[in-house]
Amino acid sequence: MMTTAKRFCPAAAVAVLIAPAPAFATNIAGNPAAGKLIFHANNCGSCHTLKAAGATGLISSNLDKKKASYATIVRVVTAGTTKNGLAMPAYKGALSTKQIQNVAAFVYSSTHR
């Protein structure tokens, strides 16, 4: 028992030091595989490039480069946004909260590896 505990402690400490992301990842709701289908069904790729989706849209930002936080993705997909005269539609009427979480989980996980 004691030996096991001693072996685990240093490993956990190192994991926390070198990889703060997993602690963050526990706050992420949604299913990335389901989100990929939502990304395609809603033509996110007509405006955005996202390698994991095979999307090459050039109207707006390249999501691989933008690396938006999970919270930002949820906010922008829910409420839409406008920048430099370009508008992204709000999806809150078209997608459920769960579906927005799924597509955000897909975009977040495929751009934060």
Of the candidate residues 23, 86, 97, 98, the single one contacting ligand HEC (CB under 6 A):
86
- Quote the CA–CA distance of 33 and 27 in Å, as a whole number: 17
Q: DSSP for 1-40? A: -HHHHHHHHHHHHHHHHH--HHHHHTT--S-HHHHHHHHH
**31 lies in the site for ligand HEC, by CB under 6 A:** no
Window contacting ligand HEC (CB under 6 A); options: 9-17, 25-33, 35-43: 35-43
Count H helices, E strands: the chain?
6, 4
Tokens for 40? 């395609």
The nearest distance, CB 108 to ligand HEC, in angstroms, is: 9
**47 lies in the site for ligand HEC, by CB under 6 A:** yes
The nearest distance, CB 75 to ligand HEC, in angstroms, is: 8
Of the candidate residues 14, 15, 16, 59, the single one contacting ligand HEC (CB under 6 A):
59
